[in-house]
Structure formats: structure tokens, C-alpha cells
Chains A and B, each alone.
Chain A
Amino acid sequence: MEPILSVRDLTIEYAARRGKVRAIRSVSFDVRRGEALALIGESGSGKTTLGLGIVQLLPSTARIAGGSIVYRRYSDTGQPMRETEVLTLKDADLRRFRWAECAMVFQSALNALNPVLRISDHFADTAKAHRYLSGPRQGAALTERSRHLLSRVRLDPDRVWRAFPHELSGGMRQRVLIALSLLLEPQLLILDEPTTALDILTQRNIMDVLKELRTQLDFSLVFISHDLSLAAELADRVATVYAGKIVEIGEVYTIFRNPHHPYTIGLIKAVPTLTSDKSELTSIPGSPPDLIELPSGCKFHPRCPLADDHCRREEPELIDVESGHRVACWRWQDARAVLKAYQV
């Protein structure tokens, strides 16, 4: 599949009083047309920074220290139309790229709506800011499209359209935001922790809505989450992020059935499922590294049961271990041994 987004050697740093926070370190990956890619990792792994970097919405303390993000627009018939380097986009072009090409739904989406505007105004404002269906006599078309999107996310437009955000539940607001993000028909949707802080039944509803939307509309999805079950449910491919780097990426079934990176294996073994046995579960020892004073060599080595001198000395790069499955680990062939090592 052709990529719609190619991230190459992207490096993002934050300035902090103690020094440079190396949030994203030379990350490369593709997002393919129509696929759902999950970025999983713990808090502080850099996954949100990566999302913000793609839409160029990093806070002012952040600096892109290198790399490129190439975005490809495809025609309705699937022909590649043009390539854009996102990192050099300015002003009007950048504004157009955001939302019209690539939309993002932020974490804590519950605070993302303006409390004094009705839902209808949110749609009108977005359209106006992006000069979408906002000319004279286009109001009716905009209303119709907006209400259609609301019903697509399983909301009752009659109930929601004139409502204020506080009149809606958390799950309803999250769905309003998803509908809103799709208003300008973006090709790429980035969701940051889309179901965190929502109740189980509401989570289920959001997941079903996303699945449905993907079958009806043509867009790619990147979602950022610490929740492995969400990735197992929604993703086509999964990338594990650790200390600002992708340490493993592959097709969802491969990652869950045959993971090779000790961190991915550790994460999977740390999450109880309804059927898992008590003895199968273990924690990863230690805690995520300080991104200012990173360990030497492989950044996972202080927590890794297989770490040896090589791991402490030199950082491994992503290599192909089988078709479409890439791992950054010197000892990936010993993955089975890791399984045992975690069983303490």
C-alpha cells in the first residue's frame, strides 16, 4: 500500500531547565492509505509529541531538530496527486493542511470544546476558519453535512445540534469531536488517547463508531494510546514507542502473537485479560527513563532481562526480522528467552 505519510528521521526536543528533553529521536515510519496505525507506549515515551509534530502543533518550548514529514494527497480514484513537506509549510498552507488534510482529536477531548458555543457553532466556526462551505447560501449545505456526520457517529442530530457542550456526556462530546474532525474530509485522522477516561460501555461505543467510520469513509487513522486492548481491537499495524523511538513495528497479529522486542513482550505480559492466568502476568522491572539523561546504548537495557554489554554500549536500529516486521533489539532472536525471564 502506498504511504500517505512518510516520517523520516524525525527528531524533536524540548528545552527544559535541566537540559534538553529528547522526546523523539530519529523516528521513521509510514502511514499507509486507509490503514489504522496504533502507537503504543507508556506515559513519557514521546507518543503524543509525535502526534503533535505531525500536525505542527508543538508547544513553543519544542524544536524540530531534524528529519522530514512527507504527506501525499491522493485523488478520489486513488492516484497520487502531490507531495508536501509538512515541516516547511507556513501560514495559510499549514492551516489548510491541518483539518483539511490531517485532523487531530486531542487527549482530554472533554475540554476541547468551547463551553459557551453550541455544537452547531463549533461546526460553523470550523467551516468559516477553513473557508469550507462558508460562502453565501452554503449554510444549508454545511448544516446538512454536519448533521450527517453527527448521525454517522451515532448521535441524534436533533438532540445535539443546538446543545452546549456541558449538556452532553463525555462519550457524546468525544463523538462530537470525531464528527467535527471529519468535517473537511481529511485523509488522515490522529486520535490521542481516544477512549482514556471513558467508561467501558462508552469506550465500546467509540470503538464501534471508529470501526464503522473506517468502513464508510476513506481515511487513515493514527491513534496514540497506552491501552494495548484498543490497539488489538482497532489497529491494522502497531508500533511500540519507548524513550522517543519506535522499537518495534508490525502487523497487529504479528505484534501480539509473535513480538520480538523485550519491551513489547513485557507490555503484553503486563496487561491482564479476562482469560489470562494469574501466573502469566508480570511487570517490567524499573520505570521509564529520564528523557534528559538517557541511558547509554539501548535505552531499554536497564529494564531488560536480556541486556548484555553490547546493549549497554550501542543503540540498536530498526531492522527487518521478517516481511513488514521491524525490531530494534540486538537480542531479538532470544525473544522466547525473554518470555521465560519475565516469568519470575
Chain B
Amino acid sequence: MGEPLITLEHVTRTFDVKRQTIKAVDDISLTIPEGEVLCLVGESGCGKTTTGKMIAGLLATSAGRILYRGQDIATMNRADRRRYRLGVQMVHQDPYASLNPVQMIYNIIAAPLQHHGFTRGEAATRERVRELLTTVDLTPPDDYLEKYPHQLSGGQRQRVSVARALTVRPSFIIADEAVSMVDVSIRISLLKMFGRLKDEMGVGVLFITHDLALAKYFAWEGRIGVMYLGRLAEIGPAQQVVAHPQHPYTQVLLSAIPEADPDRTRSKQRIELRSMDVPSLLRLPSGCAFHPRCPAFAGEICEKVVPPLKKAGWGSDVACHLVK
């Protein structure tokens, strides 16, 4: 792994809703080396999308800093800011909403190339657009140049989104639920394409998903971070987090996932929660936010003290008082 590309230092983000304050992301610290694949998983409202948006620079932090190649993105100078803006790209969840419906695929991809001066002249732009379409497996590229987004399937549109993100030669792509709206039969080929970007171009990926099985598949040699109510519960090597989950929340999640194998899914050991109620972000529980539901709840310490994320077994960092 290379140099730290993205560093989060005690990043917090709050939102004001009806004169109340919601803490969507609470004190997250994280380092993402160049070329790494990191999957953030968690349920809706856990702050994974907010974290992604802050890294992309689409949302400011309320507290804490985000560094890109060692420089604070909030205070960087114009030239650095431009480099960061191009270096970190985002692929959104809904391929039906993220492409301009009145532009041909050629224009969608050519616009950033020309605007940022990556290609000069019509011929060079056309050639580069063809190249990018080939990179995302839209072949032969000439079949797609003059199509409009509505003429493509969801999977193909998502590939166009990725090609568009690649126009500015980014070093990091944030993919927020990028395959969840695509048919199951073609998800894997999309993920394989993302994987190739990493292998062949060294592009790092932050993959945000609610599907742990997908996260394990995609991260494989990378890391998985599990978030719960705005905090990182556990982060570690993908294979280890799934095979040896240490935070009780990760364990509950893994035990709850149904699997596409009737033998395994019906014989799976389930861990029951103490309570099914998801706490409101407006009234976060004291201490460890998971304590009212935690099957391993150990009394006062869990109710009073926020567990810090610290080194635990299997190369993971875990935020739980009970994990030594």
C-alpha cells in the first residue's frame, strides 16, 4: 500500500433539523492509503453516505479535518484544491438520475475532458471517449457514442457514470451504493470492472453499501468498516471482519443476513438483539450507542463510556469495551 491518500481526523458532521441537532457522523478517524479498496457498511442512517460526501468535498465537516495527500481540504490553496477536486470523484447510486437525459453519451463524457483540458481538439477527444468506454466494457464504443441515457440499461448507465468519473484521471472514486439499483445478474460484472480500475490504474475506491456479502466480495484484499449511528464500530481486513467479527454489532449483522443457500441460511446461528428499536439520531443513547440493543451488554461501562476504536485481534480496530 502506498502513501496515505485520504485522512480523516476526528471528523464530525451535524445537521440542524427543526431546531434540534442530529449527529450524523461522530468523531471518525480513518486513513485510506493510495490504491486501497475500503467498503463502508451499515444500516440506513449510520452516516456512511455523509462520510462519503465529506470525503468528496460535497459536504463540509462540522468538526475535525479531512486531508488529501496531507493537506486539509478546507484550507488548501486554489491549485491544490483543483487537484483534489479532480483527484476524488463520485459515482452516485441512481444511474437513472445522475446522467443528463438530453445529452448523448459522447457529450456526457467529452464535456469534462474538454473543460479540464485533458484532450485538445475534436479528434483527440473522440479517441479518448472511445478509450474510456472500452475501459468500462461498453464495446464496441462506437455503438454507444450517439445514444442517449434512456436507450441504455441501468448497468450500462452506471458504466457511463464510471467512464465520466474516469475522464479526469482520479486517484480515488467514491461509489455510493453504486450497484444496488442494478439487476443482480450484472452486479458482479460491474464490481469486476471497479476491481480492474484498481488493479490496472491504481485507483482507490470507497465503496458504500448495506450488503456485507457484497462488501466482502468487493473489498477482498481491502478493508471493511462497519458503522453504527455515526461511529465506526469495527474496521479491519475484509476477510477477517467477515470470518472473525469482533464487535457485537458486526456479529449480529452477520448472523442476520439471509444467504442464497437454503441449507446454510436455515441452519445459521442467530444472535438476538436485546431490543428491535433503532434509537433516534435525535436522542442517541449515552455511552456506547449500541448498548440498548447489544446482546453482550455488560452494564455501567457500556451505558456511560463511549468506547474508543482500538487495536484488537485479526488486524482489526474495534470500538467495544468487551473486546480486548
Residues of A within 8 A of B (CB): 42-43, 154, 169, 199-205, 207, 226-233, 252-253, 256, 266-268, 270-276, 278, 281-285, 287-288
Contacts and interface: CB of A to CB of B under 8 A. Distances in A.
B299 interface: no
Given A200-B43, A281-B217, A283-B185, A273 B260 contact: yes
Contacts of B253: 200-201
B252 interface: yes
Nearest to B192: A283
A284 B185 CA distance: 5
B217 A287 contact: no
Interface in B270-286: 270, 273, 276, 278
A201 B184 contact: no
Nearest to B262: A232
- The interface centre, meaning the residue of B261, B264, B265, B270 with most chain A CB atoms within 10 A of its CB, is B261
A184 B220 CA distance: 49
A283 B183 CA distance: 10
B63 interface: no
B185 A272 contact: no
Interface stretch (B12-20, B27-35, B64-72, B208-216): B208-216
A274 B262 contact: no
Interface residues of B, number: 40
Most chain B beta carbons < 10 A, residue from A230, A233, A285: A233
Contacts of A253: 262-263
A287 B43 contact: no
A274 B185 contact: no
A5 B261 CA distance: 27
A270 B187 contact: yes
Q: Among the interface residues A200, A270, A275, which one has the most CB atoms of the partner chain B within 10 A?
A: A200
A283 to B, nearest CB: 4
A25 to B, nearest CB: 20
B41 to A, nearest CB: 9
A270 B266 CA distance: 20
Main SS class of interface, B: helix
Interface of B: 43-44, 153, 155-156, 183-190, 192, 210, 212-214, 216-217, 220, 242, 252-254, 256-266, 270, 273, 276, 278
For the complex of A and B, 10 pairs with smallest distance between CB atoms: A283-B189, A199-B43, A204-B256, A229-B258, A228-B260, A284-B185, A272-B217, A233-B258, A283-B188, A42-B183
B213 A274 contact: yes
B213 A287 contact: no
A4 B156 CA distance: 42
Contacts of A229: 257-260, 265
Contacts of B254: 274
Contacts of A288: 153, 183, 185
Contacts of B262: 232-233, 252-253, 256
A205 B277 CA distance: 11
A344 to B, nearest CB: 11
B252 A272 contact: no
A266 B185 contact: yes
A256 B261 contact: yes
B189 to A, nearest CB: 4
Nearest to A274: B213
B261 to A, nearest CB: 6
A200 B260 contact: no
